[in-house]
Amino acid sequence: MKGPCKESTKDENQGGEAAATARQAEALEAKNLGTEDSHFALETEGASSPEWGPDWTPPAGGTQGLGEPVLPTLYLESCHAHSVVPASCLLRQGSASELNLRHRGLGPQGAWALASILTSNLYIKRLDLRDNGLCGAGAEALARVLCKNSIISDVDLSENQIGAAGLQAVCAALASNPAVQKMRLGGNGLEETAARHLAALLLLPTGLKSLDLSYNQLNDLAGEILGPALAENTGLTELNLSWNHLRGPGAIAFAKGLEANIFLKVLDISHNGFGDSGASAVGEALKANNVLEELNLRNNRISMTGALSLGLGLQVNQTLRILIISKNPIRSEGYVSLLKSVRNNRSSALELLDLSDVQVNRECDDLASSVNVILPGLCIKNNTSRRKDYSPASTIPASICPEWLWSHL
């Protein structure tokens, strides 16, 4: 549910409204509410919404976790105060550890209504609010929750157009509360201004282990901002920056940050524009980095020249287990170079090398087979197109791949 969002501003009127809304939500939390009749409709969820009136009683399990007033009553009153339609599934939440409210069209006001009950909720550990049009104001409401709730550890705020202002509030919450370990912020239109807030967060000790920033607009300047911060970060083990605009100097700066990082194990930078210069910088990073285990470079405009540079890193790296470099124009020469680099590294930890969607010749097939003899634990994915003057050669049997690798294929 995507809609237009107005960027949050710092003027006094808006600040006053936000403060008033916050005070109103806090008053609702503290107030010993009765059981007044509620006369606004529940959202439609599948079949027709349940009818309820003076004799309506909360669903089984819905009265736990918040003391007085109970969760359904508090939520309904909060929705009434913020003039929003309540989410019927939340009334049946009970003590479930996951709250999934994807695509509900909550909007900023719906986020404030939800925040009033999440602050003191003792059960919900995973909160999924993807695609709800929260905008900056809604993100600020949820950030207020994350500052106080020590139970929630996994949050999805993807596709909510939170912008730089909303991200700043979220980063401040993550900096103050170590409980959150996984955060998804994909598809929020984040640019270089947001990158400054992210860099400041990466420099702080937090509980964050996994961060998803995919499908944003982080460009070369953002890469130059994030690179030095990544070098100093001491918490993240998984980072997803796929489908952004990292290229040129930004890609090089980011790769240099990877070279110095000693915690990151999984990095997805697919569908950017690293090119040959960025691939060369990544190759240098792989020479020094002895922690990274999974790297996705799919579709990054890397040619044979970039593959040669990347291979120099593969010749010495001893920790990388999965390398995906498919859909790059490395051609047969780059393909051969990468395989030779892996073959020459007897200490290589590679278990999956994805070189699919690359045009190859018979030499590539033969080399892949010889590499497999030397490194029998390596699965080479090469469902490639071949030049017309070569008939398809047999590829490495799929049976040699451990079952757990199929999730990456």
Over range 120-132, report the average pLDDT.
Answer: 93
Give the start-to-end residue ranges of the domains of the chain. Answer: 115-408
- Contacting residues for 158 by C-beta, under 8 A, at least 6 apart: 130, 131, 184, 185, 186, 187, 188, 212, 215
Which amino acid type is present at position 130? R
- Residue 272 reports pLDDT greater than 90: yes
Q: What is the pLDDT of residue 294?
A: 98
Q: Are strands 322-324 and 266-268 parallel, antiparallel or unpaired?
A: unpaired
| The domain made up of 115-408 is a member of CATH 3.80.10.10 | yes
- Residue 409 reports pLDDT greater than 80: no
pLDDT band at residue 4 using 50, 70 and 90 as cut-offs: low
Over range 394-407, report the average pLDDT.
Answer: 45
pLDDT band at residue 405 using 50, 70 and 90 as cut-offs: low
Q: What is the pLDDT of residue 87?
A: 87
Q: What is the pLDDT of residue 89?
A: 83
Q: What is the pLDDT of residue 6?
A: 55
Q: What is the pLDDT of residue 19?
A: 46
- Residue 290 reports pLDDT greater than 50: yes
Q: What is the pLDDT of residue 365?
A: 84
Maximum mean pLDDT: which of 54-63, 79-88, 128-137 = 128-137
Q: What is the pLDDT of residue 31?
A: 40
Prediction pTM value: 0.81
The chain-wide mean pLDDT, for the chain, equals: 82
**Contact indicator for 239, 216 with CB cutoff of 8 Å:** no
